[in-house]
Structure 1
């Protein structure tokens, strides 16, 4: 059963006058889409309106996104001053992102840099990784390290150098390491809650207004496999 975020159960990791950072649950959509489901951005607005007794509409800027079945850190801007600065941080790769992924097959090396060219197919909302550049593709680079070997799975720590559509999912699948629960990219069965075991674990960046270092670590979802990763 999915535990969708509400204003009352929202997992807030950091907040000040300029931004709010939350731990996204599997099943949350960051922004509204064709499903018509209530997005996380609306939940955060309701939380802010109630906590700070704000009448009228609440300003909230979406800085980046995570796939719906993915969990972890999401940053929202609370002011029009902070939004373009946060957007620039992410666009210029000045925000250091670390992900954790649980896979069934052990990768060929303990640590490695993967470089592919990804091409998105809008019809099935899926990206395909190629070994060389082809028409319509974008270069994708990540580093992975085996962080822990579990009884039946492998925990990988991943650092992104680019931010492409379904990048981690597509690149890991290409080396035979599909993420647990990710049917779209080759895992053999789904998770009961429709999640995948991909978690935006850590984010480090310089505060866009205060110019101080911000380091956020998102607690893992509660399930036996993630519990074994601790």
Structure 2
């Protein structure tokens, strides 16, 4: 596998003239914020600038985000045309994003979760509210519980909407918070949680063919409990 050669080093899943697909490590920001911590967008721009000897500013379109403690597939657009076309797919809900997560407890074998969410940008917290609440947004996902061991369950999640902290807050709401999630599960955390974006499917912006990118599950606790 190829890597960006940055600090931290990021695995590259796929690259062509239009797309750069990486496996974001847990603990890495998706884009720059006020903290000054390293972020995936800036590091990937550095990689492109160095590898292709690009002068000046490098264009790289941020198409979606993963929370800092979440690992997995992230897709960037290397051209404005690709950014526009894939962003339209995302708005039309034509991309498919699947996650694996380890939750505390024993959720149902399968199900659909629908809630209305409101985000407090100051506190960076998402709250489940009544449908009639002003500025609330529908959050929907479906899931299958793959395996349960003791107090932990491995769950496959199909994300139908892409709301901030959606999976984290929705599973906490049904009494099965994500392992390591101190924000919504009130647990201790080492900077990562057991939530991994393992599959992303889209239509290539110029080749007119469906492509699926996958990222292996982390080789660390609690994932190793389900190997």
Name the TM-score, length of structure 2 as normaliser. 0.92
Aligned partner of residue 204 in structure 1, secondary structure? strand
Aligned partner of residue 173 in structure 1, secondary structure? helix
Aligned to 1:141: 140
1:9 shift after superposition: 2.3
Task: Quote the RMSD (CA, aligned, Å).
Answer: 1.7
Distance 1:52 1:227 in 2: 38
Distance 1:218 1:150 in 2: 23
1:37 shift after superposition: 1.9
Q: In the alignment, is the contact (CA less than 8 A) between 2:10 and 2:25 conserved in 1?
A: no
Matching of residue 219 in structure 1 with residue 211 in structure 2? no
Structure 2 runs not aligned, ≥5 long: none
Shift in alpha-carbon separation, 1:26–1:117, aligned structure 2, 3 A: same
Distance 2:8 2:221 in 1: 25
Name the TM-score, length of structure 1 as normaliser. 0.91
Aligned to 1:200: 197
Q: In the alignment, is the contact (CA less than 8 A) between 1:116 and 1:129 conserved in 2?
A: yes
Q: In the alignment, is the contact (CA less than 8 A) between 1:100 and 1:156 conserved in 2?
A: yes
Q: Which moved more, 1:45-54 or 1:161-170?
A: 45-54
Structure 1 runs not aligned, ≥5 long: none
Question: CA-to-partner distance for each residue in 1:160-204, whole Å, 9 max, x for gaps?
Answer: 1111121101100000011011011024322x3x11111111011
Shift in alpha-carbon separation, 1:131–1:102, aligned structure 2, 3 A: farther
Question: CA-to-partner distance for each residue in 1:15-70, whole Å, 9 max, x for gaps?
Answer: 10001010101111111111122321111111112222323322111111011111
1:8 shift after superposition: 7.3
Aligned partner of residue 216 in structure 1, secondary structure? strand
Aligned partner of residue 86 in structure 2, secondary structure? helix
Q: In the alignment, is the contact (CA less than 8 A) between 1:19 and 1:82 conserved in 2?
A: yes
